[in-house]
Amino acid sequence: MSLHGPFRAGERVQLTGPKGRVSTIHLQPGEVYHTHRGAVPHDDVLGLEDGSVVHGSDGSEYLCLRPLLTDVVMSMPRGAAIIYPKDAAQILAKTDIRPGATVIEAGVGSGALSLWLLRALAGSGRLVSFERRDEFADVAAGNVVSVMGERPANWDLHIGDLIDVLPDAVPAGTADRCVLDMLAPWECVDVVAEALAPGAVLTCYVATVTQLSRLAEAIRATGHFTDPTSDETIVRGWHVEGLAVRPDHRMVAHTAFLLTCRRLAPGAVLPAKKQRASKTEYSAEDVELWTPGALGDRGVSDKVLRKRARRAQRGAEFALQAGRTDRTRNGEHPETDEHPETDGQRDTASDTAQPSFDSDADTREDRA
């Protein structure tokens, strides 16, 4: 697809309306793009330079740009949830995707990550993708072709379970990189380890903490990889307009965790990592050492407790006094109570019924 020059028929164009709303269309002669504000004929866009402005039938202005890959993956048809650009960028960096590499991708989904990987491979190397569901594979293939303009010669898309299909698709020890985006990647760690060459990079994309924990322990249990590292990427935009400089009210926060490790050479044993004992390794003696007494945590003395109790009582008295003052200002008479009974009658009634707020206040005053 062309990077510059006039817009041509069949190209994808991004239209930005007066309120910043973005729409993506494929230019076709004679077609019309309709909005609630009016219409924009495709013929008005065809032949214009990238970055031009056209007017709709109502006079609204629309900025015309060739969309970036970031824009495309966010607007293209989806069969499954996509990997967001912020995570895709981290995957490319952490997995060290480069031209000439043989890359395994499991869990194609809608093809968003496939596009990023193919872009990084730059027409060389090989991308071997696996998808279990036919309908997702169809969506991904369509999206890739719509962006690339053709089916890439270095892209192989296989339908089936990774455990069953990978050994026949990729010879053992020949893959340089692997990216897993699936529900249970720990089930495929062994077959992936067989396909990866020594020093190869494995990156896994998982959504939840429980998945992250189980996957990390499964990788450690194989003994074929370095100790995995994990993180997440959070992106926060900023509003910058004159002196109004502040974070945006909305942000793309957690989408997934990325776990990365590297393949060890056959027969290699990962050196033991020397570190302080973690909370996962403890004994009964350790628990005893963490008790307040062992740590020298001094308890509060009775004298301090009495002092704090007096302070609390004084605070309560201030609050009650303020309440009585407010009721007096409102014309009420808390001293005489709003019930006509005598003091003796009121005391008798309080033994058999829930006291009102005023009688409760009077009782506290008597105790004081």
pLDDT of amino acid 159: 96
Whether 52 contacts 6, CB under 8 Å: no
Give the mean pLDDT of 112-135.
Answer: 95
User: Bigger pLDDT: 341 or 33?
Assistant: 33
**Cβ neighbours for 357, distance < 8 A, ≥ 6 positions apart:** none
Whether 121 contacts 101, CB under 8 Å: yes
Dist. CA 291–CA 279, nearest whole Å: 15
pLDDT in tens, 264-312: 999 999 988 777 666 565 455 654 454 444 545 455 566 765 665 655 6
Which segment of 36-50, 68-82, 89-103, 269-283 scores lowest on mean pLDDT? 269-283
User: pLDDT class for 327, splitting at 50, 70, 90?
Assistant: low
What per-residue string of b and e applies to 192-212 under the rule 16 or more CB within 10 Å gives b? bbbbbeeebbbbbbbeeeebb
Q: Does domain 72-262 have CATH number 3.40.50.150?
A: yes
Give the mean pLDDT of 57-75.
Answer: 93
Helix (H, G, I), strand (E, B) or coil at 312: helix
User: pLDDT class for 359, splitting at 50, 70, 90?
Assistant: very low
Q: What is residue 306's DSSP assignment?
A: H
**Cβ neighbours for 315, distance < 8 A, ≥ 6 positions apart:** none
Percent of the chain with pLDDT over 90: 61
pLDDT of amino acid 37: 82
Most confident stretch, 24-28, 164-168, 331-335: 164-168
pLDDT of amino acid 293: 45
Mean pLDDT of the chain: 83
Give the mean pLDDT of 179-207.
Answer: 96
User: Bigger pLDDT: 172 or 272?
Assistant: 172
Q: Is the dihedral of CA 89, 94, 100, 104 positive or negative?
A: negative
Look up residue 341 and give its amino acid: E
Whether 259 contacts 203, CB under 8 Å: yes
pLDDT of amino acid 360: 44
> Does residue 157 carry a pLDDT above 70?
yes
pLDDT of amino acid 81: 86
Which segment of 125-129, 135-139, 175-179, 312-316 scores lowest on mean pLDDT? 312-316
Q: Does domain 12-67 have CATH number 3.10.330.20?
A: yes
Q: How far is CA 318 from the centre of its chain?
A: 49
User: pLDDT class for 361, splitting at 50, 70, 90?
Assistant: very low
Give the mean pLDDT of 58-65.
Answer: 94
> Does residue 362 carry a pLDDT above 90?
no
Which segment of 7-11, 84-88, 226-230, 308-312 scores lowest on mean pLDDT? 308-312
Which segment of 7-21, 246-260, 314-328 scores lowest on mean pLDDT? 314-328
Q: For the chain, what are the domain ranges?
A: 12-67, 72-262, 303-367
pLDDT in tens, 268-279: 999 887 776 665
Percent of the chain with pLDDT over 70: 74
> Does residue 130 carry a pLDDT above 90?
yes
Q: How far is CA 66 from the centre of its chain?
A: 28
> Does residue 174 carry a pLDDT above 90?
yes
Look up residue 342 and give its amino acid: T
Whether 77 contacts 142, CB under 8 Å: yes
pLDDT of amino acid 178: 98
- Count of H-run helices and E-run strands, the chain: 12, 15
Q: How far is CA 81 from the centre of its chain?
A: 12
pLDDT of amino acid 75: 87
pLDDT in tens, 38-49: 899 999 999 999
